Amino acid sequence: MVTSGSAALAFLFPGQASQRAGMAAELLETEPAARRVFQQAGDILGLDLADVCTRGTGALLTRTDVAQPALLTTSLAWLAALRDRDIAPRMVAGHSLGEFAAWVASGALDFEPALRLVRRRGEIMAEAADRNPGGMLAVIGLPDKQVIEFCQQAQSAGVVVAANFNSPGQVVVSGESDALDKVTQLAEAARGRALPLRVAGAFHSPLMDDAARTFAEFVAQAPIRRPTIPVVANATAEAVTDEESARRAITKQMTSPVLWSASVRRMMADGIALFAEVGPGRVLTNLVSRISADARALPVGAPAELQTLLQEVKP
């Protein structure tokens, strides 16, 4: 398999909020391997994810229990298209939900148990969000330390924590609405911006603690193996290469902050110079460019983008 023509390659898999209406339409028209992935997903879940990901509305794809398996399947369908062309990475990582696609890409999880885990994860998180309403917003243009301090100040109004350290000058915070409003006020007073995310709950926050305990029971029973490709885990920004660490990382992931900036830098320290965002959108591609000017990232969420990556990595 080709890992890259001129630079070590890593695959990155996007997380929730990258989904969009029609996100798999072109993919399913052009890639037989992708159609097989969606057919398998439909057989496993009894849900026509191909229809959801081609004709489903944006409102439907905002539902956590639908968005998570839909996004996982779309990302893995693109992975199948890459594998059809013998393109393989040296390392993998995924942002939040996207980490489950990374575990499949690494060989630590097969598709069926991963999809069942993600479907259950989405259901559990949706139930938790109904019990403990909240949301997430991206704070732009301020140092990480300052955003953490704002969260501490806003805790007088409710639960709120720094949830995703995405890139220099971008931290996602998660919590209850009144506390998020307080963080917004503090950020704007400091000349930052606060942008709400299209998610249905306060993920990676203490409001998901009950959900995480329930989900841990399912992870304990999941058939997880030693990864054959290192996975850089959200919770630690360290490369996972053994089964026990993989199981622990999957269990911690729901409530731990996503250390994305540190994860990208870890991969670069291990020699990665080219990143391919495998799935819909360009969120991770844009984050990589903000994290380091020395790294290159290409999206792979449309047929033309797949061709661009092929031109880059084929010798």
Give residue limits of the domains in the chain.
8-130+207-313, 134-200
pLDDT in tens, 209-265: 999 999 999 999 999 999 999 999 999 999 999 999 999 999 998 899 999 999 999
pLDDT of residue 16: 85
Q: Which residue, chain included where needed, has tokens 């926050």?
A: 205
pLDDT digit string, tens, across residues 27-85? 999 999 999 999 999 999 998 999 999 998 888 888 888 888 999 999 999 999 999 99
Distance in angstroms (rounded) separating the CA atoms of residues 3 and 7 = 8
CA distance 272 to 158: 40
Catalytic site residues?
Answer: 96, 204
Q: Would the CATH topology of 8-130+207-313 be identical to that of 134-200?
A: no
- pLDDT digit string (tens) for 264-309? 999 999 999 999 999 999 999 999 999 999 999 999 999 999 999 9
Q: 115: part of which helix (H) or strand (E)?
A: helix 111-131
> CATH fold of 8-130+207-313, please?
Malonyl-Coenzyme A Acyl Carrier Protein; domain 2 (3.40.366)
* Exposure string for 33-58, b = 16+ CB within 10 A, e = fewer: bbbebbebbbebbebebbebbbebee
134-200 is classed in which CATH architecture? 2-Layer Sandwich (3.30)
- Report the first-to-last Cα separation within the chain, whole angstroms: 11
Give residue for tokens 């996007």.
14
Q: What pTM value is reported for the model?
A: 0.93
